[in-house]
């Protein structure tokens, strides 16, 4: 039987994960913890350890992708349930201060299994529809797992349980920041892109400015905006009432908006430039007006590239919105920075994990949409 | 009738088209020919105002095109270009129906017109209506492009190198079909080409452009036998001249009584075809279908400009 190289890599990562501590016991949320290996962390730990080791070993050989997929899925579920069980097992009865968090071994196992899963899915070459269903299934499964209470004793969820209301509020704020800035960027960036398409001479200067904006580090951008917007709020009548302020949601939204402009404008240009000159010329020659040319021909043909811009911006802004937590803009960043201040890693994770999950889901969903429109274009 | 009066286009101080005047009679084909950069495409594009003239006028049946909004003017004029310019995201039917839709025709009327045009261009409506442009061959795409240009029954059709992207075999057939359809519909046609052969085959008159100026505007035979300038003579090609001249006359026109061996050539075949047949089969004369023969001596007389001038 022949060896499978990616499988070998997954097995090595998995092996490290099995050796390193699986969970960490801390007397309270900020004290340093003490690691427990998988074998020690839960009652049937040794059995699970051998089962996982066998599964990784099997992955080293070339086996049908569907088999690998099933194995990885089962193992992933087992590891997730195991961390929940470990948390229950390691927490002394009645001790509300003690925390059990996932340790390096758990994260490595998670990494190995997710890679294996992604690899197996890619090898199966599922159609668009099936990939959409897989994504929905994964989201539903994660939701179900969290709602079932199986993981409730894990430290990050303990942090969540005392912040339920705040968490929901910050989740909404995070989505508002990411989607709001995307909406603004489309509202402003699409017309700029269309304008530049017609005005070649303006392209260089405008794109350079947007490029420079893109290279300003996000912290520096916030730093610049605080005095500027504070001054505007203080001196321009009505500005403060309209929501302008040095800190808070307003500068966060503006920063994300500025970062989004370059991808939107440059992709609009690329998309429109991609329409063949003869198609454009024929459209004009047949008597389409300029708005008709845009609406009937240019925008439909540029759509896949425009949607690609939406994908880039969305993924970028969901991640960047974390920084808004620094200046009181809200969002999951609030937990990250609170956690950093309190050296409570579990709280940091409460902000970081949903951000990562949101980014992944948005990225994959937009990939499906982009591919769907591009494919329909080809078939069409 | 199209009247072009003193039409000029100046780009950055140089004239791309310099004071060109010409008239195309209703139902005629005018071929604009010249080297690249001669201004022929600019001249064509000024007729439907894709390029706005610096000076001069274009009159269509006496109406100044400057008095009509550009997009409304263009909907009245058919326009077909090299590489067809079909909309890749629209079906064949939607492509052809573009201008009728712009003009607000009813959907049933558009559908009927699309089918009628597909029939006219020998494309089975049931099979082609819903296809996408990239599923068609080059020749089919070109036909759909011309069908689209003719959809709203324009009196004037402008074509810019319409056959440029086709291979020679398909091109000859496409030219022949276009000529038939143009005669059938009575459309006035102005066609840009860099190919003198195409201009001679299709044009009722040929307009030769050089560096923005119109150097000769005359029927093909006159351009061939009496080129106005050395440039026109070069464009015609000294080596090609006699053959192009022969290609203008059908065999039936010079056939006279007599006997010749071998298979007859069709009556519509040109004298050039007759000459080719004589040379290839080593005969001094070939019979023409329906009686008469064409002799090498007759061909020799026809291919010389002096003989023409005497006519």
DSSP A92: P
Residue A158 lies in a domain: no
- A229 and A176 in a single domain? The answer is yes
Strands A99-102 and B2-11: unpaired
Mutate which of A282, A294, A301, A306 to test chain B, going by most B C-beta atoms within 10 A? A282
User: What is the greatest pairwise CA distance in chain B?
Assistant: 65
Assign residue B191 the CATH number of its domain.
3.40.50.300
Quick check: B146 pLDDT over 50?
Answer: yes
- A122 and A265 in a single domain? The answer is no
Quick check: B310 pLDDT over 50?
Answer: no
Residue A155 lies in a domain: no
List C-alpha distances in Å: B98 to B2, B125, B150.
Answer: 25, 17, 11
pLDDT at B1: 87
- B270 and B173 in a single domain? The answer is no
Q: Do A288 and B89 touch (CB under 8 A)?
A: no
- A206 and A317 in a single domain? The answer is yes
- A129 and A243 in a single domain? The answer is no
Low-confidence ranges of chain A (pLDDT < 70): 1, 376-380
Domain boundary pick from B214, B236, B258: B236
List C-alpha distances in Å: A194 to A130, A203, A215, A291, B86.
Answer: 36, 11, 24, 11, 22
Query: At residue B249, what are phi and psi to the nearest 5 degrees?
Result: -110, 130
Q: Kindly compute the dihedral angle of the four CA atoms of residues B151, B154, B158, B162, in this order, to the nearest 10 degrees.
A: 30
Report the share of chain A in percent with pLDDT over 90: 15
Minimum distance, in Å, between the CA of residue A305 and any CA atom of chain B: 15
- A132 and A192 in a single domain? The answer is no
Asked whether the beta carbons of A377 and A308 are under 8 A apart, the reply is no
- B279 and B170 in a single domain? The answer is no
Q: Do B89 and A281 touch (CB under 8 A)?
A: no
Q: Do A285 and B82 touch (CB under 8 A)?
A: no
- B288 and B232 in a single domain? The answer is no
Rounded to whole angstroms, the Cα distance separating A277 from B288 reads: 48
Q: Which of A120, A146, A122, A116 is nearest to A52 (CA)?
A: A116
pLDDT at A379: 52
Rounded to whole angstroms, the Cα distance separating A130 from A117 reads: 15
Residue A156 lies in a domain: no
From A276, which residue of chain B is nearest by alpha-carbon distance? B85
- A305 and A173 in a single domain? The answer is yes
Number of structural domains (chain B) is 2
Q: What count of CB pairs under 8 Å joins A to B?
A: 66
- B116 and B138 in a single domain? The answer is yes
- B219 and B304 in a single domain? The answer is no
Domain boundary pick from B215, B236, B257: B236
pLDDT at B166: 80
- B294 and B179 in a single domain? The answer is no
pLDDT at A376: 66
DSSP of B233-248: HHHH-TTTHHHHHHHT
From B78, which residue of chain A is nearest by alpha-carbon distance? A286
Q: Per mean pLDDT, which range of A233-237, B108-112, B124-128, B158-162 is the poorest?
A: A233-237
pLDDT at A3: 80
pLDDT at B190: 93
Number of structural domains (chain A) is 2
pLDDT tens digits, one per residue of A175-186 = 998 999 999 999
Asked whether the beta carbons of B118 and B97 are under 8 A apart, the reply is no
Quick check: B224 pLDDT over 60?
Answer: yes
- A230 and A293 in a single domain? The answer is yes
pLDDT tens digits, one per residue of B292-306 = 888 888 888 877 766
- A142 and A185 in a single domain? The answer is no
Range of the domain at B130: 2-236
Q: Kindly compute the dihedral angle of the four CA atoms of residues A264, A265, A270, A276, in this order, to the nearest 10 degrees.
A: 110
Joined together, the tokens standing for residue A26 give 């801390």
- B108 and B252 in a single domain? The answer is no
What is the Cα gyration radius of chain A?
A: 25
Q: Do B148 and A286 touch (CB under 8 A)?
A: yes
pLDDT at A323: 85
Minimum distance, in Å, between the CA of residue B211 and any CA atom of chain A: 24
pLDDT band at B290 (very low <50, low <70, confident <90, very high): confident
Task: Say how many C-beta atoms besides its own lie within 10 A of residue B294's C-beta.
Answer: 28
Report the share of chain B in percent with pLDDT over 70: 98
- B18 and B56 in a single domain? The answer is yes
- A191 and A277 in a single domain? The answer is yes
- A120 and A52 in a single domain? The answer is yes
Quick check: B311 pLDDT over 50?
Answer: no
- A136 and A186 in a single domain? The answer is no
**Residues in contact with A48: Cβ distance below 8 Å, sequence separation at least 6, in sequence order:** A38, A42, A78, A82
Angle made by CA atoms A50, A54, A58, in degrees to the nearest 5: 175
Quick check: B182 pLDDT over 60?
Answer: yes
Assign residue B302 the CATH number of its domain.
3.90.1280
Domain boundary pick from B189, B207, B236: B236
SS3 state of residue B160:
strand
Domain boundary pick from A148, A176, A210: A148
Q: Per mean pLDDT, which range of B24-33, B61-70, B167-176 is the poorest?
A: B167-176
Only one residue has tokens 């010079």, namely B254
Q: What mean pLDDT, rounded, does chain B reach?
A: 87
pLDDT at B112: 92
Joined together, the tokens standing for residue B211 give 């560096």
Minimum distance, in Å, between the CA of residue A280 and any CA atom of chain B: 7
Domain boundary pick from A148, A183, A208: A148
Picking from B75, B85, B102, the nearest residue to A282 by CB comes out as B85
Minimum distance, in Å, between the CA of residue A288 and any CA atom of chain B: 6
- B126 and B196 in a single domain? The answer is yes
Q: Do B81 and A283 touch (CB under 8 A)?
A: no
Range of the domain at A136: 5-148
Rounded to whole angstroms, the Cα distance separating A38 from A86 reads: 8
pLDDT at A179: 92
Assign residue A268 the CATH number of its domain.
1.10.3720.10
Domain boundary pick from A118, A148, A178: A148
Only one residue has tokens 């005969």, namely B283
- A130 and A255 in a single domain? The answer is no
DSSP of B77-112: EEEEETT----TTS-HHHHHTHHHHHTT--HHHHHH
- B258 and B214 in a single domain? The answer is no
- B98 and B198 in a single domain? The answer is yes
Joined together, the tokens standing for residue A261 give 């402009």
pLDDT at B33: 92
Picking from B50, B83, B88, the nearest residue to A284 by CB comes out as B50
Interface membership of B68 toward A (CB under 8 Å): no
Quick check: B213 pLDDT over 60?
Answer: yes
- B150 and B282 in a single domain? The answer is no
Task: Say how many C-beta atoms besides its own lie within 10 A of residue B266's C-beta.
Answer: 13
List residues of A whose CB lies inside 8 A of any B CB: 276, 278-289, 292, 296-297, 300-301, 377, 379-380
Tell me, what's the ipTM? 0.83
């Amino acid at each position: 039987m022949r060896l499978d190289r990616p499988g070998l890599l997954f097995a090595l990562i998995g092996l490290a994960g099995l050796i390193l501590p699986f969970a960490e016991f801390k007397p309270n949320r900020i004290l340093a913890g003490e690691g427990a290996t998988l074998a020690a962390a839960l009652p049937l730990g040794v059995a699970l350890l051998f089962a996982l080791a066998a599964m990784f070993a099997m992955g080293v050989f070339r086996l049908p992708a569907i088999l690998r997929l099933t194995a990885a899925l089962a193992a992933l579920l087992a590891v997730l349930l195991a961390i929940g069980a470990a948390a229950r097992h390691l927490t002394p009865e009645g001790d509300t201060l003690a925390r059990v968090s996932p340790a390096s071994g758990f994260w490595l196992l998670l990494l190995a299994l997710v890679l294996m899963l992604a690899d197996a899915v890619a090898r199966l070459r599922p159609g668009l529809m099936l990939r959409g269903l897989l994504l929905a299934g994964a989201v539903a499964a994660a939701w179900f797992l969290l709602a079932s209470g199986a993981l409730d004793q894990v430290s990050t969820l303990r942090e969540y349980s005392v912040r339920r209301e705040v968490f929901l509020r910050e989740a909404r704020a995070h989505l508002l920041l990411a989607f709001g800035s995307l909406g603004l960027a489309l509202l402003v960036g699409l017309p700029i892109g269309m304008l530049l398409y017609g005005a070649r001479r303006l392209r260089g200067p405008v794109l350079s400015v947007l490029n420079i904006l893109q290279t300003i580090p996000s912290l520096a951008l916030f730093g610049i905006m605080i005095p500027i917007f504070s001054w505007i709020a203080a001196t321009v009548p009505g500005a403060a009432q309209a929501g302008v302020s040095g800190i808070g949601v307003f500068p966060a939204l503006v920063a994300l908006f500025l970062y989004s402009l370059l991808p939107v404008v440059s992709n609009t240009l690329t998309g429109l430039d991609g329409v063949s000159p003869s198609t454009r010329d024929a459209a004009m020659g047949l008597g389409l007006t300029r708005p008709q040319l845009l609406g009937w021909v240019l925008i439909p043909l540029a759509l896949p590239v425009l949607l690609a811009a939406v994908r880039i911006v969305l993924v970028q802004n969901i991640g960047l919105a974390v920084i808004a937590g620094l200046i009181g803009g809200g969002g999951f960043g609030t937990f990250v920075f609170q956690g950093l201040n309190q050296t409570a890693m579990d709280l940091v994770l409460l902000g970081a994990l949903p951000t990562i999950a949101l980014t992944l889901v948005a990225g994959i969903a937009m990939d499906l949409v982009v591919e769907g429109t591009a494919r329909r274009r080809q078939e069409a | 009738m199209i009247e072009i009066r003193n039409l000029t286009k100046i780009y950055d101080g140089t004239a791309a088209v310099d004071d060109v005047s010409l008239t195309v009679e209703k139902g005629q084909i005018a071929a604009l020919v010249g080297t690249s950069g001669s201004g022929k495409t600019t001249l064509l594009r000024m007729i439907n105002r894709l390029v706005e003239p610096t000076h001069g006028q274009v009159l269509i049946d006496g109406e100044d095109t400057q008095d009509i909004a550009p997009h409304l003017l263009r909907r009245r004029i058919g326009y077909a270009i090299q590489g067809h310019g079909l909309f890749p995201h629209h079906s064949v039917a939607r492509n052809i129906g573009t201008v009728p839709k712009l003009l607000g025709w009813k959907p049933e009327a558009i559908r009927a017109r699309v089918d009628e045009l597909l029939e006219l261009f020998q494309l089975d409506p049931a099979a082609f209506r819903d296809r996408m442009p990239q599923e068609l061959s080059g020749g089919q795409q070109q036909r759909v492009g011309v069908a689209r240009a003719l959809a709203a029954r324009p009196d004037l059709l402008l074509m810019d190198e319409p056959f440029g992207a086709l291979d020679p075999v398909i091109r000859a057939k496409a030219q022949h079909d276009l000529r038939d359809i143009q005669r059938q519909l009575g459309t006035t046609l102005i066609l840009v080409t860099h190919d003198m052969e195409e201009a001679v085959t299709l044009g009722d008159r040929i307009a030769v452009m050089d560096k923005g100026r119109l150097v000769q505007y005359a029927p093909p035979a006159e351009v061939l036998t009496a080129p106005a300038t050395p440039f026109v003579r070069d464009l015609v090609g000294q080596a090609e001249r006699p053959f192009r001249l022969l290609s203008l006359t059908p065999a039936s026109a010079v056939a006279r009584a007599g006997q010749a061996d071998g298979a007859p050539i069709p009556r519509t075949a040109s004298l050039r075809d007759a000459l080719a047949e004589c040379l290839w089969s080593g005969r001094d004369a070939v019979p023409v279908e329906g009686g008469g023969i064409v002799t090498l001596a007759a061909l020799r007389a026809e291919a010389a400009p002096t003989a023409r001038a005497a006519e």
